[in-house]
């Protein structure tokens, strides 16, 4: 029920200029979903909704840009975590082995992570090369990944 309600909220704010929680409750009621103001308030917080200018001094609920970035980052981290089979370092190079065909996804995830000292990545079929700034940052990164796996 919560997922359906939150999906409906996202659909409503994408199609309508909703300025208040009361308006949002009314839109939900029109679609057959009854809720309370407290529940809607929690949904707004969980969905990371913000109010943005709608023109003529009015405001409307919208999805925060931060939320969109966080969702992508979370998905990429999941892909990364699920695809890595091993990690080793050689001087300033970190080498990841992945399940066959998943190196590209793991590399994309790495490119979107804020990795201290990472200069660049390169993916093959089941191998990812990460060029780090120096040997120390490569070893540190390698250890962090091992702990994550």
Please give the distance of CA 65 from its chain centroid, rounded to a whole number.
Answer: 11
pLDDT tens per residue, range 32-65: 999 999 999 999 988 889 998 988 888 999 987 6
pTM for the whole thing? 0.52
**Euclidean distance between the first and final Cα of the chain, in Å?**
33
Average pLDDT score, the chain: 88
Lowest mean pLDDT among 5-9, 63-67, 94-98, 142-146: 63-67
Tally the residues of the chain. 149
Lowest mean pLDDT among 88-97, 126-135, 139-148: 139-148
Rounded average pLDDT over 120-138: 95
Rounded average pLDDT over 136-149: 87
Sequence-distant (6+) residues with CB within 8 A of 6 are: 43, 46, 47
DSSP, res 115: -
What torsion do the CA atoms of 39, 26, 11, 4 make, to the nearest 10 degrees?
Answer: 50
pLDDT tens per residue, range 71-94: 556 666 777 778 899 999 999 999
Predicted local distance difference test score (pLDDT) of residue 11: 92
pLDDT(8) > 90: yes
Backbone φ/ψ region at 143: left (φ over 0), alpha (ψ -120 to 50), beta: alpha
């Amino acid at each position: 029920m919560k997922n359906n309600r939150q999906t409906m909220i996202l659909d409503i704010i994408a199609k309508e200029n909703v300025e208040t929680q009361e308006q949002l409750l009314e839109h939900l009621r029109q679609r057959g979903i009854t809720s309370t103001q407290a529940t809607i308030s929690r949904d707004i917080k969980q969905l990371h909704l913000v109010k943005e200018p709608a023109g003529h001094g009015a405001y409307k609920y919208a999805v925060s840009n931060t939320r969109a970035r966080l969702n992508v980052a979370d998905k990429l981290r999941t892909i990364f975590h699920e695809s890595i089979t091993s990690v080793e370092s050689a001087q300033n190079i970190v080498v990841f082995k992945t399940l066959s065909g998943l190196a590209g996804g793991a590399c994309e995830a790495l490119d979107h992570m804020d990795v201290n000292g990472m200069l660049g990545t390169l993916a093959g079929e089941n191998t990812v090369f990460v060029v780090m700034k120096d040997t120390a940052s490569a070893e540190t990164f390698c250890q962090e990944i091992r702990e994550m796996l």
